[in-house]
Structure 1
Amino acid sequence: MPVETYFAELFDKIEDIDLGTFFADPEIQGRYFSAFVPPATYRAPDASTEDRAIAGPHGDIPIRIYRPLSGTPSGGGLVWAHDGGWGYGTIDDPGSDGFARELVARTGGVVVTLAYQLVSETVKFPVPLDEYEAVFTWTHDNAAELGIDPARLVLGGGGCAASMSLGAALKLKDAGKPLPAGLLLPFPLTHLVVPDPSDEHAAKVAVIPPMLNYDAAMVVFMYQGYFGDASASPSPYATPADGDLSGLPRTMIITSEYDALAPDGMHLAQLLGDAGVDVAFLEESGAAHAHLNYPWTDAAKRSVETITEWLDASDASV
């Protein structure tokens, strides 16, 4: 289908910005980020929130716990984090805070989000991944206090956090530790080299502005930030499509129709299915990459409803 109106207007606002101009001019950075401000008419659902800091392998990790405002939590749980190519994003972003509130409102479950350390000259793989795993383990170990049934605790995140969700699950499996009840992996980046798109998909990618077109150069840029050498992965946990995917829990993969990374999610779904994993796959129509970061859009609303149905389809429900 055509690009949803919100995303088409966003494309127009930033079509003249690329990585070179973005880093060269603070004013352009300001214009870029201002294009993503939520519309004045959007308000995320209310939820009870509690900020904490838990001990992690690289220092304390800030987390936020979302609970329904009224009534006892349903028993489901989700550990979730924002995307941003490992170098950007916060716990307050709509793709973290807004998504958590939307899901709690629909399910009555508990969502735990985290502010993992962003990569820098001194922070590289496996620091963010270790923190992601640590928050899942803490949530599992403290499930009773949080009002979560540990057998219904799902792990997920968008983009780079989808990669870390899958990498953390592989680490837990290899260590013989409790696994999540399910994996929620929207618009993931899990391959070192993203598989080639079909001709039909390549035509859709052609309309995407440079800063939202996660082509080979952009993928190299993100991996250089994450582990320093984009020519080789340091571990299957860093590029988890390379790992042994057998024995993982049921998984939902969501891709965005207008996204250069969509072939990553499509191929990952095939790899998981070949490994015997129960996979649900959705390509969200009319959506740009990371569409769950825009919970006011029609595409995000549809995806959240699909996620809710997937969660409710088994004991892994939130």
Structure 2
Amino acid sequence: MPLDPFLAAKLHLIDGLRWENPADPEAGRRFDAFFRDPAPWPEPEADTEEHTVPGPHGPVPIRVYRPRGRRPGPALLWLHGGGFRAGDLDMPEAHLVSAELAARAGALVVSVGYRLAVDGVRYPVPVDDVRAAWQWLTGPEAPTYAGPPALGGASAGAALALSAAIRQRDAGSAPPPAALLLAYPFAHFPVPVLDDDTAALMRELPSILRFDTASIEDMVRNYVGRITELPPAAMPGAAGLTGLPPTGIVLSELDDLRPSGDLLARQLTESGVPTRTYLATGMLHGHLNRTPSLAEVDRSLAFFATVLTG
């Protein structure tokens, strides 16, 4: 279906802009207006604590979310996106998602500030940070929660979650995740092509909302250091997926990277992994950076809460 009408009415605000433009005051105002949702976000009933956990490359910052006034049930280790080179614990895809899932699922959610692929950091360093946080969450120093923990992330964070789950499976050294929660995963290189109907809709969008071949190659080269002979677990759609836990995948309908999520769902199913998907119609890549005042954001969070609680 076409782009969500609320978003479509705002496209003129970002037409012609580039991501480096926000330093310009007028461009910044246009970006702010485009990302302003139908209503303010009422932060849910969740308490937070800042911690660091030891990792092989130094301390890893984490933020722990607890449902206010309740004993946590399930647990989730959550990883924001950002093309492997951007993002932090304060971005909506980290903070909003973690707070919402803590409240909606009664969960202990641990958001991870893994090292970004900047200043010479490359694969597998971010995955090492994720595993360090996982070992903390499944170890004796973690807060109390009930039931086995899950692992998840968005976009590049979904790739990191899948890579970490594969490494846990292969190492057998720590409890594996009970479930995977993957939002619009970027798990393959090259990315499969869009179907003709979706491609036609995507051509109508401003270029700033697109992932072209050059930008996808740049993300992979920056993360891995090359675009040839990639380690299978770096872009983990190329790795063996048998034996992974039940997986829930949220897809953004209007997303150049959506074919990666579609293919991953088929691969997981073929590998015997119980897999559910939710297609957020009319949504762009990264829609969990917006608030639940948009209906498809609310539905995506509800889907993940259901996956998390079983």
Q: TM-score, normalised by structure 2?
A: 0.92
Checking the alignment, whether the CA contact within 8 Å between 1:46 and 1:69 is kept in structure 2 is yes
Q: Residue 45 of structure 2 aligns with which residue?
A: 46
1:181-192 aligned at under 5 Å gives the runs 181-192=178-189
Q: For 1:72 and 1:25, how far apart are their aligned partners in 2?
A: 42
Say whether the 8 Å CA contact 1:169–1:179 is kept in structure 2: yes
Q: CA deviation at 1:25?
A: 8.1
State how far apart, in whole Å, the 1-side matches of 2:248 and 2:207 are: 28
Q: Tell me which amino acid in the other structure corresponds to 1:203.
A: A
Alpha carbon RMSD of aligned pairs, Å? 2.0
Structure 2 match to 1:58:
57
2: CA distance between counterparts of 1:25 and 1:155?
33
- Tell me the SS of whatever aligns to 1:116: coil
Q: Give the distance between the partners of 2:7 and 2:132, measured in 1 at CA.
A: 35
Paired AA for residue 161 in structure 1:
G
Which stretch of the first structure deviates more once superposed, 8-17 or 238-247? 8-17
Instruction: Work out whether 1:7 is the aligned partner of 2:7.
Output: yes
User: 1:202 aligns to what SS in structure 2?
Assistant: helix
Give secondary structure in 2 for the equivalent of 1:100. helix
After superposition, residues 162-177 of structure 1 pair within 5 angstroms as 162-177=158-173
Whether the 8 Å contact between 2:14 and 2:31 is mirrored in structure 1 is no
In structure 2, the partner of 1:287 is 283
Please report how far the alpha carbon of residue 38 of structure 1 lies from its aligned counterpart in structure 2 after TM superposition.
4.5
Preserved CA contact (<8 Å) 1:99 1:295: no
- Residue 23 of structure 1 deviates from its aligned partner by 4.2
- Of the structure 1 ranges 169-178 and 203-212, higher mean CA displacement relative to structure 2 is found in 203-212
Contact 1:7 1:288 in 2 (8 A): no
State how far apart, in whole Å, the 2-side matches of 1:35 and 1:193 are: 34
Q: Matched residues in 2 for 1:136 and 1:9: separation? A: 42
Query: Secondary structure at the residue paired with 1:201?
Result: helix
Aligned residues of 2:251 and 2:279 also touching (Cα < 8 A) = yes
- Rounded Cα–Cα distance in structure 1 between residues aligned with 2:249 and 2:305: 13
Match of 2:266 in 1: 270
CA distance in 1, matches of 2:279, 2:245: 21
Q: Distance in 1 between matches of 2:124 and 2:156?
A: 13
Partner residue, 2:106: 108
How far off is 1:176 after superposition?
1.3
Secondary structure, counterpart of 1:56 in structure 2: coil
1:96 corresponds in structure 2 to 94
Does the 8 A contact of 1:79 with 1:155 survive in 2? yes
Q: Deviations over 1:53-97 (max 9, x none)?
A: 111111101100000111222x20110021110111110111111
User: 5 Å matches for 1:51-90?
Assistant: 51-73=50-72, 75-90=73-88
Uncovered stretches (5+) of structure 1, i.e. residues with no partner: none
Gaps of 5+ in 2: none
Does 2:223 match 1:226? yes
Supply the distance in 2 between the matched residues of 1:101 and 1:135 (Cα, whole angstroms): 18
Which of 224, 235, 240 is 2:236 aligned to? 240
Q: Deviations over 1:159-180 (max 9, x none)?
A: 0000000000111111113210
3-state SS, counterpart of residue 49 of structure 2: strand
> Percent identity among equivalent residues?
35
Q: Which consecutive segments of 4 or more residues in structure 1 shift more than 4 A? A: 22-25, 35-40
Change (3 A) 1:23 1:42: closer
Task: Give the match's secondary structure for 2:62.
Answer: strand
Q: Deviations over 1:269-303 (max 9, x none)?
A: 11111111101012111111111111232111011
Shift in CA distance, 41/147, structure 1 to aligned 2, threshold 3 Å? same
Which residue does the alignment assign to 1:213? 210
Equivalence for 1:179? 176
Q: Is the 8 A contact 1:255 1:283 kept in 2?
A: yes
Counterpart CA distance in 2 for 1:191 and 1:70 is 41
**Deviation of 1:44 (Å):** 2.0
Q: What is the TM-score normalised by the length of structure 1?
A: 0.90
Question: 1:119-138 deviations in whole A, cap 9, x for unaligned?
Answer: 11321111111111211121
Write the distance in 1 (CA, Å) between the matches of 2:27 and 2:287: 21
Instruction: State the distance in 2 between where 1:189 and 1:180 align.
Output: 20
Would you say 1:250 and 2:246 are equivalent positions?
A: yes
User: CA separation of 1:25/1:299 partners in 2, compared to 1, >3 Å: closer, same or farther?
Assistant: closer
Mark the CA change 1:36 to 1:160 in structure 2 (over 3 Å): closer, same or farther: farther
- Measured in 2, the distance between the counterparts of 1:206 and 1:93 equals 28
Structure 1 window deviating more from structure 2 (154-163 vs 278-287): it is: 278-287
